[in-house]
Amino acid sequence: MFLFGLKRLLQGVVTVWFIATATFFAMHNVPGDPLLNERAGSEAIKANLESKYGLDQPLSTQYFIYLRNLSRGDFGISFTQENREVNDIIREHFPVSAILGILAIVFAATGGVLFGALTALYRNRLPDYIIMILVILGISVPSFVIAAMSQLMLVGINNMAGSTILPVAGWGTILHMLVPALVLGLGTMAYLTRLMRSSMLEIIGSDYIRTARSKGVPPSRIFAKHQLRNAILPVVTVLGPSIAAITTGGFVVELVFAIPGLGRYFVQAVQQLDYTVIMGTTVFYGAFLVFMVILVDILYGFIDPRVRLEK
Amino acid sequence: MRGAAKSGIGSKLLEVRNLEVEFDTYGGIVKAVRGVDFSVDSGKTLAIVGESGCGKSVTVQSMMGLIPIPPGRITSGSALLRGQEVLGDTIIEGKEIRGAEIGMIFQDPMTSLNPTMTIGNQIAEPLQIHRGYSYRQAFNEAINLLDMSKIPEAAKRAKQYPFEFSGGMLQRAMIAMAISCKPSILIADEPTTALDVTIQAQILDLMRDLQSQTGMAIILITHDLGVVARMADEVAVMYAGKIVEHGTVEDVFYRSAHPYTLGLRAAMPTNDPANQHQLNPIEGSPPDLFSPPPGCGYCARCPWAMSICQKSHPEHYYLNSGHYSRCWLHHNDSEIKPNQLSFN
C-alpha cells in the first residue's frame, strides 16, 4: 500500500512537470507583451523583471529559470499588480476556492450516492421518476443559469421573510457558502446519481446478492454490507475527474456570487497577459488536481481489495 | 441427528406438492414450473435433472424465496418442511428458513461471493444473524468450517478475499458458508458446472462427507448424469416444468421408463470401445412455456409419440412403489411398451 502510494506520487510529480512545461510554452506563444501595456510600470521595473526572468534571453534559458524557481516553490511576482507575489495571491484566495470546492464535492458525492441508491431501490416507481427528471435538469442546465436563478430565489425568500435569511452573494460565514456550494455541486451530483443508479442496479441483480439473500441476510444489512460498498466503486473512480470539474466550474460560480476565490485572479491574469500569475495558478491548480486524483486512487484501494494488492 | 429419526410416508423432511410458478414478462406469462411434486429425507440426496430452462432452478429458488416477486408468482402448491409450510414464509418454528434451515450453493462460485468482503466474514455472517454469535466467535467458527471443507491454512485463508481463491476453493468456501448453521437441507444448484472435472469430483466427495457427518439432506440440481450417478439416492427428471420420471437412481438409470430419460441416456458419451458411434442428440427444442402444450411437453420430440400425447397430459404410472413415469406408453391401450424401447 505504501509503495503504491509512493509510485502514484512520483507519477504525479511527472504529470505536474508536464503541466508546467505545456503552460510555459503555450504562454510564450501568445502574441502580446504585458510590459508594453499602458499600465505597465517604469523602465526600472521593466529592467528588473527582464533580468529576473531572463526575458531578454533565449526561450530555453527562460524555461530553465522558470523551472528552477518552480522547484523552489517560487511562482514569481505579478507583472501587472505591483508588489504582489503569486504565492501571496494563492495563499490569500485559494482557501476560499478550496472550501467552496470541498463543500461542493461532499455535497455532490453524498447526494449522488444517496439518490442513486434510492432510485435503484425504487426502480420504475415514483421516487425514481422524480429524481431522474431532476437529474436530467441538473446535468443539462449550466451552472451559471442555476446560480442566477438561485440568487433570484434567495432574493424572493429574503423579501418574504423581511430579513436576510441566506445572503445572496459575498463571503464570510457558513451561510454564504451553502447556496454556492449547492449550485456548484449540482451538476456533478446529477452525474454521480446516474452512475450510482446504474451501478446499483447491476449489483442488485448480481449472483452474490442472491447468495446473501440465500443466507438469510436481512435487506437492510444486504444494502449496507453487500450492495453499497460494491456499487460505490465506479462513483469513487470518477470522483477524481469530478473534483477537476468542480474546481474549474468554480470560476463561474465564484463570479456570480462575488466570492473572492482564486478563479477571478485566474481569469483576470489571462486577460492582462500576466505571465507569472497565469503560470502560477495553472500549475498550482494542476498540482492540486493531480494530488486529489492520487488521493482518490488510494481511497479506492481501501474500498476495493483487488486494487490494494496490485503493486 | 435432527429430523433423522422419523421415517415413512407423510413424515418426510421436505415434501413439495403441486408447485406452480409463473413469471410475467413482456412477451406474456411464462409458466416455468407446472405442478411439481417431490420429497426428500434426511441424509438422502435427491437429484433433479433436466435441460436448461426446464424449471429446476426456479423450483428450488421459489422454496427459498429467491425468485423476484413480481414478476415471479407462486400460483399454487405447498412445500412442507417437517410438516410446516415454507412457501411465502421466511421463518418456521422460530428459525429462519434461508441460511438456518436450508443452505444453498450456486453454479458459479466466482461470481457468487461478495468481492469486497473477506471469505471469513462472509462465512461468519449467517452465524451472526441466525445464531447471534459475536463477530469474533463467528469468525473463529468460520475458520473451523473452512477447515472442515478441507481448505488448507484455514486461519490465513479466512482473511483473504474471493479473488485470491481458485474456483474449486471458492466452491468449498460456499459450501462452508451454506452449512455454517447446520441446515437440515443443502440445495446445490449445479454446484460443479463451472469447475473442471478433477475439482468436480473433489467437491462432490466433500458434499458426501459433510452429508454423512451432519445427516443433512441434499437436493442436487444438475444436467450432468455422471454427477447424478455418483451422488444421488433418488432422481427426478424434469421436462418443461414437470417431473416426467421419478425413482431411485437404479430405477431411473437401469429401468428408464420415460422416452425423455431414454433420450438423455442415449445422448451421453460412452467410453465403451465397442460403441464408438456418434452421440444421439434429442432432436428439436423444448416447448414454448408462454403457451405450454395441453398434452405431454415432450411429444414433439418423442419418436414414439401417439395422437393422445398431444391432447392430454399423462398421469403418474407407477412401475414400482417409488418409481413413476408420466408417459402414455404405459397405458394399457398402448401398443408399444416402454420396456421395448431402445435407440439401437
Residue B62, pLDDT score: 87
Residue B4 sits in the same domain as residue B34: yes
Q: Which CATH number is B29's domain given?
A: 3.40.50.300
For residue B260, the enclosing domain spans 1-101+183-287
Q: In what order do the strands lie in the sheet with B84-85?
A: B28-40, B14-25, B72-81, B84-85
Which of B108, B112, B129 lies nearest to residue A216, judging by beta carbons? Answer: B129
pLDDT of B9 above 50: no
| β-sheet bridge partners, residue B235 | B47, B247
pLDDT digit string, tens, across residues A46-97: 777 777 777 778 888 888 888 888 888 888 887 777 678 888 888 888 888 8
Residue B188 sits in the same domain as residue B207: yes
Q: What is the CATH number of domain A86-272?
A: 1.10.3720.10
In chain B, residues with a C-beta closer than 8 Å to the C-beta of A216 are: 90, 96-100, 126, 129-130
Of residues A73 and B121, the one with the higher pLDDT is: B121
Element spanning B172, H or E: helix B167-178
pLDDT of B42 above 50: yes
- The answer to whether position B29 is within a domain reads yes
Residue B42 sits in the same domain as residue B187: yes
Name the pLDDT band for B275 (thresholds 50, 70, 90).
Answer: low
Concatenate the DSSP letters of all residues of A24-50 into one string: HHHHHTSS--GGGSTT---HHHHHHHH
In chain B, residues with a C-beta closer than 8 Å to the C-beta of A230 are: 114-116
Domain end marker among B287, B310, B330:
B287
Residue B77 sits in the same domain as residue B201: yes
Which of B99, B103, B161 lies nearest to residue A305, judging by beta carbons? Answer: B161
Residue B89 sits in the same domain as residue B19: yes
> Across chain A, what does the average pLDDT equal?
85
Residue B344, pLDDT score: 43
* 8 Å CB contact of B116 and A303: yes
- The answer to whether position B214 is within a domain reads yes
The proportion of chain A whose per-residue pLDDT surpasses 90, expressed as a percent, equals 24
- Round to whole Å and give the CA distance between B24 and B62: 15
Residue A39, pLDDT score: 59
Total residue length of chain A: 311
Element spanning A229, H or E: helix A228-231
Residue B5, pLDDT score: 39
pLDDT of B253 above 70: yes
| Residue that the C-alpha cell 479473488 belongs to | B163
pLDDT digit string, tens, across residues B67-116: 887 788 888 888 888 888 888 777 777 678 888 889 999 988 899 999 98
Domain end marker among B178, B197, B225:
B178
Concatenate the DSSP letters of all residues of A56-108 into one string: TS-HHHHHHHHHHHHHTT---B-SSSTT-BHHHHHHHHHHHHHHHHHHHHHHH
Domain end marker among B142, B162, B178:
B178
Q: Which residues of A touch B (CB under 8 A)?
A: 206-208, 210-218, 221, 225-226, 229-230, 233, 303-306, 309
Of residues A247 and A105, the one with the higher pLDDT is: A105
Domain residue spans in chain A? Answer: 86-272
Which of B98, B100, B177 lies nearest to residue A213, judging by beta carbons? Answer: B98
* Distance between first and last Cα of chain B: 47
Which of B90, B104, B116 lies nearest to residue A304, judging by beta carbons? Answer: B116
DSSP state of B98: B
With a CB-CB cutoff of 8 Å, which residues 151-170 of chain B face chain A? Answer: 161, 163-164
In chain A, residues with a C-beta closer than 8 Å to the C-beta of B117 are: 225-226, 229
- The answer to whether position B295 is within a domain reads no
In chain A, residues with a C-beta closer than 8 Å to the C-beta of B115 are: 208, 230, 304-306
- The answer to whether position B325 is within a domain reads no
Q: What are the grid coordinates assigned to A38, written together?
A: 499602458
Residue B54: count other Cβ atoms within 10 Å of its Cβ: 26
Domain count, chain B: 2
Residue B32 sits in the same domain as residue B165: no
Q: Is the Cβ–Cβ distance between B283 and B231 less than 8 Å?
A: no
Which of B111, B129, B130 lies nearest to residue A207, judging by beta carbons? Answer: B111
Task: Show Cβ contacts of residue B277 under 8 Å, excluding neighbours closer than 6 positions.
Answer: none
| β-sheet bridge partners, residue B34 | B20
Residue B195, pLDDT score: 83
pLDDT digit string, tens, across residues B142-173: 999 999 888 899 999 999 999 999 888 999 99
* 8 Å CB contact of A207 and B106: yes
Residue B13 sits in the same domain as residue B86: yes
**Is omega for the bond preceding B70 within 30 degrees of 0, making it cis?**
yes
What's the gap in Å between the CA of B72 and the closest CA on chain A? 15
pLDDT digit string, tens, across residues B205-230: 999 999 999 889 999 999 888 889 88
Residue B206 sits in the same domain as residue B168: no
Residue B174 sits in the same domain as residue B188: no
Task: Show Cβ contacts of residue B211 under 8 Å, excluding neighbours closer than 6 positions.
Answer: B43, B45, B186, B218
- CA gyration radius, chain A: 24
Task: Show Cβ contacts of residue B320 under 8 Å, excluding neighbours closer than 6 positions.
Answer: B247, B251
- The answer to whether position B243 is within a domain reads yes
pLDDT digit string, tens, across residues B51-63: 888 888 889 888 8
ipTM for the complex shown? 0.84
- Round to whole Å and give the CA distance between A160 and A182: 22
What's the gap in Å between the CA of B237 and the closest CA on chain A? 25
